[in-house]
Amino acid sequence: MGSQFEHLKLPRIINIELPRRSTGGFSGTKRTNVSEHGKELLGQISTLIEPVKQKTSPFRLDPKLIFKIKVAENYSFSDNLVTQTGLNVLAREPNKAIVVFSSDNELTEFKKRLESYSQIKDGPKYEYLGAIDELVPLEPQDRIGRLLELKPVEPGELAALDLELWHTGDRKEIQNYLDKIAQVLEELSSGTAPMRMSDRYIGEYLCLARIKVTHEVLELGLTQNYTR
């Protein structure tokens, strides 16, 4: 089915690089304000978590909190270290931000390590967490490709788009997501706005779907803090 997508010129909702596996670990000088820095990061985690708890999605997908880890200048933070904190790497961006997701809505392991790092609780120092400059949510503009940015879907318009989902590594899970998205598009369709998913492709690292959506449904999808 992959060849069917080669001719597509549709704008993508999400345009983000596939994960680049880094082989190194942590590098950078030790922070002098470890306790204050750790507490700031814990506060940012709380800010990330609360909107996800409160939000309900018509797409009824299992929640996977997605956010960015901004790595401080002159520091590095490997995929292996990210995984040890209980997170999964989705992509690395040119500005040293790492896009991650977690199936754990409470970010339990991440918070546990930050509490130890910030000396709130006794335990290992986890000095590599000093590489994190900031934890920030994904914004709608992070989820759209260049073509869609240049030519947005207008209110009242029914647009054909190429939807790229972040691949969690679980093909069955991704297939389930696509089934639910297709179902909701059918449910939200009307005689004047016949929305649907016309085709799909699931590879080892890539997942694409061709969809027709209205401006309103697109905006709703772009604000969800979940893998879609």
Q: Determine the number of helices (DSSP H) and then strands (DSSP E) in the chain.
A: 6, 9
DSSP H stretches of helix in the chain: 34-54, 79-84, 108-117, 146-150, 171-188, 215-222
Q: What is the pLDDT of residue 168?
A: 76
Helix axes of 34-54 and 108-117: crossing angle, nearest 10 degrees: 160
Q: Three-state SS for 208?
A: strand
Q: Which domains does the chain have, with CATH numbers?
A: 2-15+144-222 (no CATH), 26-141 (3.30.70)
| Structure tokens given for 117 | 């790092």
Q: What is the pLDDT of residue 228?
A: 36
Largest CA distance in the chain: 62
| Structure tokens given for 127 | 């000095």
Q: Three-state SS for 143?
A: helix
Instruction: Give the CA-trace dihedral at 173, 174, 180, 181, to 10 degrees.
Output: 160
Task: Give pLDDT tens digits along the chain (228 positions).
Answer: 444 444 444 444 444 334 444 444 555 567 889 999 999 999 999 998 876 665 555 665 555 788 999 999 889 999 999 999 999 998 888 888 999 988 888 899 999 999 999 999 999 999 999 999 999 988 888 888 888 888 999 999 999 999 988 787 889 988 988 998 999 999 999 999 999 999 999 998 889 999 999 999 998 888 764 443
Q: What is the pLDDT of residue 63?
A: 56
Q: Please, what sign has the CA dihedral across residues 148, 150, 153, 157?
A: negative
Q: What is the pLDDT of residue 122?
A: 94
